[in-house]
Amino acid sequence: MRTACLLLLALSLGAADWFEDARKAGAVCESENRWADAATVYEGALRRLGSGAPAHERFWLLTSLAEVSFERQDYPAARGWLRQAIPQDDAERIRLLNAQGTLELVEGNLTAAERNLKRAADLSASAGNPLDAAAALHNLAAVEMHTGRLRDAESHERQALNLWRRELGDRHHYVLKAWISLSSVQGLSGDWHAAEASLQEALTIAPTPEALANYAVVLDKLHRTKEAGKVRSQISLPAIPLQSLIDVHSTNPPIRTR
């Protein structure tokens, strides 16, 4: 299905609702991890929009291109797309702040990341939707983990977890990510039994490599080395130093919203 998304777009170019068709074509590409194809779809749609297009459509395409560039680890390109994205309302402003903060987080600019993510979280509390708020809080917690403010990180991660569970149900992959992140905070705080409980919640959703790796670390810390070995054998990972729990978590990408 390599070219399925491009074919879908080609078939829809003459349609009256071509923009919506382009969004669907891009979604197909993204679902297949065809990031280059998704970029081709969105760039073609952006050119077709022209200068007089509705501002919200242009904003959506620019932030979509930024996210695709992010997935391709082309961070300069992602930043370039975001510079062109001009929000028209608070909802778009929240998403732009979250996107900028996420990019700064992965680039290691923690001060700027915290500033933008905190602004996104504060604004979304009154003007955004719950999913935007959860994304900002989750990413803010990641910054706080890296800066050692574990109490704040746990509070914000729990808020994100509760919002996602309420809006998306208990088995959504965002809920899984939140449980893993919460276990990292708890482990770094030395509360290994709480970390174990959080990871058990995560594993009931899906036994992902991140969840299994963190679980093995926690079991080692609880002196249950045989169990840890069995868990680790499921993912073929070597023994992970106890201090690397945050590094295991960092392989789990931040949440981005559009």
- For 237, which DSSP code? P
219 touches 200 (CB < 8 A): no
C-alpha 42/C-alpha 182 separation (Å) is 35
Answer yes or no: is 240 within a domain.
no
**How many domains in the chain?**
1
To 5 degrees, how large is the angle CA 173–CA 174–CA 180?
90
Answer yes or no: is 191 within a domain.
no
Answer yes or no: is 110 within a domain.
no
Answer yes or no: is 53 within a domain.
yes
Amino acid at 47: R
pLDDT of residue 7: 53
pLDDT of residue 4: 53
Task: Find the domain containing 52 and state its range.
Answer: 1-64
Answer yes or no: is 45 within a domain.
yes
Answer yes or no: is 22 within a domain.
yes
Answer yes or no: is 100 within a domain.
no
Q: 28, 8, 27: which is closest to 18 by C-alpha? A: 8
C-alpha 37/C-alpha 21 separation (Å) is 15
Does the global pTM surpass 0.85?
no
Answer yes or no: is 85 within a domain.
no
pLDDT of residue 8: 56
65 touches 46 (CB < 8 A): yes
pLDDT of residue 81: 97
Q: Tokens standing for 150?
A: 């574990």
**Which positions of the chain have pLDDT values less than 70?**
1-16, 236-253, 255-258
